[in-house]
Structure 1
């Protein structure tokens, strides 16, 4: 044990050396970051993504009511919820994942949020209120998306002016969607924990609905992107590439955490191999829940309460070892400036989600006095995981080669031309006359900064060489999303209290 600890310290030293030198050009960042200010802004961002009738306490005042008649085409009220990114579509799959991660942030780090906790709870509830509307007719039908993405993406207009197709997409027993339904069950179950003591009746509603939605997801199995009812709306935007199996395990894991019922534990054990719990261990996001499943379930194992779930801890340990920089088996790429990088668009979604898991697992390790064995005498300590997670957060906030904060409104140098319709077009207050579908194109192509600051929005981020084009057409780098910010809320809460 002593040798492993010494080697772990050596790895930590090498890690600190590598990533301190990689960002040494950022010499102007000598003061500690104001993590609390960043936390406040990261939560405020969600108010800019709200759809529906805005409340009287709305703080981002350049936004107005929008999409009040969503669901009318099917005779339902499907107003509310979140726009996922810089467009005006309500995609249920990433919205549910966002709600799950916001809830997990509150569950694990709510005690560190201080006066921002009520706003975080409002952000969770804005998501769950919509998910309750979307699932109130399960198992007959569940609504999983509002808005035709092709019609929407053909326009550049404010959500308040929207005149694009508000097509409603749904799943049912003949046209299943276990992925989106499983994630929705997870979101409702996780949120039921958040509100258990704060609003017991609401918590009970969330939990009973989570049970119904999970049963629906499990009984009628299939991917929603293979469903003819939803495929056109889902793909290629939020097409389920990874399969629906992980969402079933994910939903069961959150239901077990929320209910402590043995049936969900037995479901997890019985389906561990069938639903491929050990697949793609270094992935976690709206499409792939594997690393999250393993970290979430591992807490039970580390506390000595679930030896029958030991395989999940082994998978979680493998995940940790796969992301450590500077060792031979690392499967994650890092930019020269030290940022986690995975191929594909919107890289910051990987940075914040994986960093959240590193921090959560670090806390579980610390409370159980464990380390992660990575072979060759190397072990990863709780402090190492916290350091790696903090390094990623600091990069986002400005400790990077460009000395740029990738959070709008934080610091003095941040993206000015984000790929976001409402932010880039004049507000209704400034320009009360409607701006049509194509009339917004001149604002999209303008070199001028966005007139409305979407405070707290974290964009997709720089490429693997740490270069960043502050330009709306480069949407993979300049577009914010709710699922980038959701795990960041938990990270910032922790570091605001432990910096």
Structure 2
């Protein structure tokens, strides 16, 4: 090879190396798990790392005569919504199951398990009886009329539940999925806890099947904020996780029975629509030949999962829209939640394709696993600052990130610095309307993100773009662990 060719090859490798090393995925991973400590409700543990946040909502459940403290605030408000919380825990658990080795190599496995356990401990409290599950604490309407730190909360903390007379198959199904996935995540480190989680998961799945109904008909205050579009996807999703956790044939029978109504090719994967997740888990098991004799009856799940991925990577029949800067784009309100779930799905499938020596067949040709990871990297890099605005949409990552995010606790001075209570309406005048950066950095929060033209307005009032949610960051935990390693 000529010296000139040596030089060109060497130069290209240097460029590749510089680009690969330009984003610190390990730091982003650390921050993504710190975020969950800032979202904690209840009595904080001695090892709490986010120090500006304090104990809050210590009387949750008192009106019902039970302890419902703990769990997570869903976003920038002080309500505990069980439906998205359960999806968050399912995705955190899947991250641990899939990328346990990578998380461990970055010393983040313990923090990831702690994040899961903060949710599952709460679900155990909320599921006191086989056919009763508390699904919300607080009320979005009264909460949104106030701008208060969670530590100062004066809004009602009513507890809302589903039971036999007031069913909620979607809520019970998603919570069953979360507990079953968490049971797998804890199976090695804490088998006793894992067994306890699985008992609750089985009971909740049976409850969801036996008493069908959409949860917002029973918990009407949830409908305005986290309305479910149906419960068949949650039941399928729960059955898939329970099959993985137990190997019990009855869950496989349920999945097989539902194969003719497998959801079709979905346009997104989210806290409301779990079909893609269920389809993908089945597709991975088919690649790994875990269902001998069932390949043909379950093939529709695999076809739909693969079509979703093809559409995301712009090689399908109905490609997902992209911004001019290259970001996958679904909608103007909290678009990044769909980007993070898509990156998780694609990463997970790429690794299984690679391990089983397969490739993905899309309408416009064959796609190798490495091409899928390259696509994922392009989306994650965009989120972390490689975009037209050179802005990181993960709070606290880099130097140019959203400073005025829509988040009560982050936007008001820490109670550790000033214990003077901030009143319901006082918070708006003193802090919400203040044209200054939030006093507390909500490390690891993924905001709603830019619009289709790659524009972002860093303004507390702009909740469609500037509010973060627990469901946004959870899928990214596993992807960051994979990229960091």
Shorter-chain TM-score above 0.5: yes
Structure 2 matches for 1:218-297, cutoff 5 A? 218-227=209-218, 230-231=219-220, 233-240=221-228, 242-273=229-260, 276-297=261-282
C-alpha separation in 2, matches of 1:54 and 1:65: 6
Matches for 1:323-334 after TM superposition, within 5 Å = 323-325=312-314, 327=315, 329-334=317-322
- Correspondence 1:47 to 2:34: no
User: Residue 474 of structure 1 is aligned with which of 454, 462, 469?
Assistant: 462
**Which structure 2 residue ranges, 5 or more long, are not aligned?**
1-17
**Correspondence 1:359-370 to 2 at 5 A:** 359-370=347-358
Task: Give the deviation of 1:322 after TM superposition.
Answer: 1.7
In 2: Cα distance, 1:117 partner to 1:317 partner: 29
CA distance in 2, matches of 1:429, 1:182: 39
Give the structure 2 partner of residue 405 of structure 1: 392
Is 1:324–1:330's contact at 8 Å kept on the other side of the alignment? Answer: no
Q: Which residue pairs with 2:73 in the alignment? A: 83
Task: Classify the secondary structure of the residue corresponding to 1:340.
Answer: coil
**Alpha-carbon separation, structure 2, partners of 1:163 and 1:138:** 32
**Could you tell me how far apart the structure 1 residues matched to 2:265 and 2:421 are?**
47
1:252-281 superposed Cα distances (whole Å, 9 cap, x missing partner)? 0000011011110011111233xx323352
Aligned-residue Cα RMSD (Å) equals 1.3
Please give the per-residue CA displacement for 1:137-157, whole angstroms capped at 9, x wherever unaligned. 121x21000001111000000
1:54 Cα deviation after fit: 0.1
Show the counterpart of 1:204. Answer: 195
| Alignment map for 1:433-448 (pairs within 5 Å) | 433-442=420-429, 443-448=431-436
Alignment of 1:123 with 2:115, yes or no, is yes
Counterpart check, 1:163 vs 2:154: yes
- SS for the counterpart of 1:373 is strand
Contact 1:282 1:323 in 2 (8 A): no
**Residue 180 of structure 2 is aligned to residue 189 of structure 1:** yes
1:36 counterpart (1, 19, 26) = 26
Of 310, 320, 323 in structure 1, the residue corresponding to residue 299 of structure 2 is 310
CA distance in 2, matches of 1:49, 1:328: 38
State how far apart, in whole Å, the 2-side matches of 1:302 and 1:269 are: 17
What CA distance in whole angstroms lies between the structure 1 residues aligned with 2:98 and 2:20? 29
For the 8 Å contact 2:259–2:298, the answer to whether it is kept is no
Matched, 1:357 2:345: yes
TM-score normalised according to structure 2 size: 0.93
- The alpha-carbon deviation at position 31 of structure 1 amounts to 4.9
Q: Is the 8 A contact 1:132 1:209 kept in 2?
A: yes
Q: Distance in 2 between matches of 1:172 and 1:279?
A: 31
Listed one character per residue, the Cα deviations across residues 8-36 of structure 1 (whole Å, up to 9, x for unaligned) are: xxxxxxxxxxxxxxxxxxxx988521100
Residue 8 of structure 1 corresponds to which residue in structure 2? Answer: none
Write the distance in 1 (CA, Å) between the matches of 2:62 and 2:287.
49
For 2:451, what is the secondary structure of its paired residue? coil
Q: Return the offset for 1:226.
A: 2.4
Conserved 8 A contact 2:310-2:316: no
Q: Is the 8 A contact 1:320 1:372 kept in 2?
A: no
In 2 relative to 1, CA 259–105 (structure 1 residues): closer, same or farther, beyond 3 Å? same
> How far did 1:418 drift?
0.4
SS of alignment partner, residue 426 of structure 2: coil
Q: Where do 4+ consecutive residues of structure 1 move more than 3 Å?
A: 28-31
1:60 is the counterpart of 2:50: yes
| Unpaired segments ≥5 residues, structure 1 | 1-27
2:136 aligns to what SS in structure 1?
Answer: strand
Cα offsets for 1:352-387 (capped at 9, x unmatched): 0111001011111111111222235x1222112111
- Give the conservation status (yes or no) of the 8 Å contact 1:63–1:427: yes
